[in-house]
Chains A and B, each alone.
Chain A
Amino acid sequence: DADVTQTPRNRITKTGKRIMLECSQTKGHDRMYWYRQDPGLGLRLIYYSFDVKDINKGEISDGYSVSRQAQAKFSLSLESAIPNQTALYFCATSDLRGDYRTDTQYFGPGTRLTVL
């Protein structure tokens, strides 16, 4: 079974709809992240959480919100989806227990979201 899972894997929705993307992990990691990936723009950080009570904005948080329901669950919401939020979304986890320089991020398989 995959350590980091994302649901749904694909979603097509319409402008103005509320969408929630979910991420679950069985790695026992404290840190979780949401990224979006667009062709030619690489991975951009939306939100991140270093533990259950910690939520931080990334570089492109406008139009998004998150909820850290438990150590293992981190959800991303689009309150009112718009077409330029069409992208590939990745959840990732990491476990900073030693040297931060060697902290590895483990990515889920991604959610392809299309907003019409």
Chain B
Amino acid sequence: TQLLEQSPQFLSIQEGENLTVYCNSSSVFSSLQWYRQEPGEGPVLLVTVVTGGEVKKLKRLTFQFGDARKDSSLHITAAQPGDTGLYLCAGASGANSKLTFGKGITLSVRP
């Protein structure tokens, strides 16, 4: 069974701070996705990383896929209250396999 461990589980920071959160596994994934879920809604895809070492930027969010394709990080620069939510990583390992989801990171950004 492939597992994705996300850390930290909870994070509460002040507006304007920078932060990095992690998604780690002992298994290799073909790709990793990051989703954000806001209260009362379903998760929404932020980004997909496919190539080992790949870095993608989405405004103030920077996503990196580990060289060995076993881990990923999400860095947020100058966090804003609108970044508050649950961040889920999910790994794909084959065409007919399902996504494996991590347990999520709850981020709270205080004004």
Contact = CB atoms under 8 A, between A and B. Distances in A.
Interface of A: 4, 33, 35, 40-45, 48, 50, 58, 90, 92, 96, 99-110
A35 B98 CA distance: 12
B43 A43 contact: yes
A41 B103 contact: yes
Residue picked from B41, B42, B90, B99, most chain A C-beta under 10 Å: B42
B85 to A, nearest CB: 13
Interface in B89-103: 90, 92, 94-96, 98-99, 101-103
A101 B41 contact: no
Interface in B28-50: 30-31, 33, 40-45, 48, 50
A101 B44 contact: no
A111 to B, nearest CB: 10
Interface residues of B, number: 24
Contacts of A42: 88, 101-104
Interface in B5-58: 9, 30-31, 33, 40-45, 48, 50
Query: Among the interface residues A90, A103, A105, which one has the most CB atoms of the partner chain B within 10 A?
Result: A105
A36 to B, nearest CB: 11
A107 B50 contact: no
22 contacts: A4-B42, A35-B101, A40-B9, A42-B88, A42-B102, A43-B88, A45-B98, A48-B98, A100-B30, A100-B92, A101-B30, A102-B31, A102-B48, A104-B33, A104-B48, A105-B45, A105-B90, A105-B99, A107-B44, A109-B40, A110-B41, A110-B42
